């Protein structure tokens, strides 16, 4: 492939990020993806700020390749995490579920490459003006916290509005999806759901099984009534959550209490009352395999598609 601005900016071999999935994305997964030539990301949502610091240190022991940290901006310890990553000399940050403007100066002064996840053109423009190095445009096919627009419409509109490079996310889990994202003008892709089934991913076996058994219609978005829509696998838990949301006799506090801690319980315990966050492409994830195979299948698959398209049409 021709020169790629994301690979040049971050010093990575392949233009693919592993999503910084809350409670999931630890040093083991991030290091495996980085070792394979992509960008591994550690989630800031873990058992507190010191636990995240430990994951950063572990990751450095596992790989000398670039990796980053994803900062969940709505977390109560976001301020602490924002300062800790500077102390630890992290070089690459992505952010999610909000605007990171309040931290931008501190991070830029520390020489950090900052790549906010955005779900709209308006926020993307704000991020570029604030000094972001790139943005991840994440469509609502994604697992976890989602915006309103979907990848096919969001990515080209963000690409058209910005000068900085755009990474596409949401619904991408193989070479076809990555090739499509490049066609939309993205310069890299971010993949979450498929990495749930990576050998190096430490989610509970039950979580992996649920992803592998999923079909095209296995996910549901809940939490809209709370202002925090989340896509997860349909389970008795998520269906109950949805019913509570549509029942006027159930208060917001009751719904919040019902959902509290549910993602951690799914990731660590495979619990029946857990929240199994996953994207719409879960139905395309068919096996557990090394992160390196996933990275190569997606990127080399995309390159093959683009090459054959060029050969056939030029
Ligand atoms: O952040 C994510 N996905 C996440 S965070 C998460 S943690 C969690 N969530 C619920 C329960 C328990 C744990 C799980 N999944 N993706 C990045 C993302 N950011 N997607 C969409 C956005 C977004 C949406 C609106 C970013 C900014 C925004 O508006 C900000 C503003 O202030 O305008």
User: pLDDT tens across 53-71, in order?
Assistant: 999 999 999 999 999 999 9
- Specify the residue with its C-alpha closest to ligand 1, atom 3: 145
Which sequence spans correspond to the domains of the chain? 7-202+289-313, 219-277
User: pLDDT tens across 192-248, in order?
Assistant: 999 999 999 999 999 999 999 999 999 999 999 999 999 999 999 999 999 999 999
Among 167, 160, 214, 191, residue whose Cα is nearest residue 297: 191
User: pLDDT tens across 85-117, in order?
Assistant: 999 999 999 999 999 999 999 999 999 999 999
**At 137, which helix (H) or strand (E)?**
strand 135-138
Q: What is the mean pLDDT of the chain?
A: 97
Fold of 7-202+289-313: TIM Barrel (3.20.20)
Q: Is the pLDDT of residue 176 over 90?
A: yes
Among 280, 267, 131, 121, residue whose Cα is nearest residue 202: 267
Cα torsion 29, 33, 38, 40 to 10°: value is 20
- Model confidence at 311, pLDDT cuts 50, 70, 90, reads confident
Cβ-based burial of 57 (10 A; exposed 0-12, middle 13-18, buried ≥19): exposed
| Cα(90) to centroid(ligand 1), Å | 21
| Cα(308) to centroid(ligand 1), Å | 37
Give the mean pLDDT of 19-35.
Answer: 98
Determine if the pTM surpasses 0.85: yes
For the CA of 263, the closest atom of ligand 1 is 12
The reported pLDDT for the residue numbered 119 is 98
Task: Determine whether the shortest distance from the Cβ of 167 to ligand 1 is under 6 A.
Answer: no
CB 36 within 8 A of CB 292: yes
- Model confidence at 314, pLDDT cuts 50, 70, 90, reads low
């Amino acid at each position: 492939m021709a020169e790629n601005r994301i690979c040049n900016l971050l010093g990575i071999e392949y233009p693919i990020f592993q999503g910084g999935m809350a409670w999931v994305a630890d040093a083991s997964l991030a290091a495996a993806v980085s070792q394979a030539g992509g960008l591994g990301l550690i989630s800031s949502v873990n058992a507190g700020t010191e636990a995240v610091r430990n994951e950063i240190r572990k990751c450095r022991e596992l790989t000398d390749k670039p990796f980053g940290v994803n900062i969940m901006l709505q977390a109560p310890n976001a301020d602490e995490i924002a300062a800790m990553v500077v102390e630890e000399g992290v070089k690459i940050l992505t952010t999610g579920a909000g605007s990171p403007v309040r931290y931008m100066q501190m991070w830029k002064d520390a020489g950090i490459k900052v790549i906010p996840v955005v779900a709209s053109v308006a926020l993307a423009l704000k991020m570029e003006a604030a000094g972001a190095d790139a943005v991840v445009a994440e469509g609502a096919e994604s697992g976890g916290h989602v915006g309103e627009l979907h990848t096919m419409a969001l990515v080209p509109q963000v690409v058209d509005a910005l000068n900085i490079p755009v990474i596409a996310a949401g619904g991408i889990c193989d070479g076809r999806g990555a090739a499509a994202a490049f066609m939309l003008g993205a310069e890299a892709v971010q993949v979450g759901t498929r990495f749930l089934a990576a050998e190096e991913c430490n989610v509970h076996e039950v979580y992996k099984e649920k992803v592998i058994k999923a079909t095209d219609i296995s996910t549901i978005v809940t939490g809209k009534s709370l202002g925090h829509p989340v896509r997860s696998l349909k389970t008795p838990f998520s269906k109950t959550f949805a019913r509570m949301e549509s029942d006027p006799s159930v208060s917001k506090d009751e719904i919040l209490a019902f959902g509290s801690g549910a993602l951690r319980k799914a990731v660590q315990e495979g619990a029946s009352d857990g929240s199994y966050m996953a994207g719409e492409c879960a139905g395309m994830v068919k096996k557990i395999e090394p992160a390196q195979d996933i990275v190569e299948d997606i990127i080399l698959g995309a390159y093959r598609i683009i090459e054959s398209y060029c050969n056939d049409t030029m």
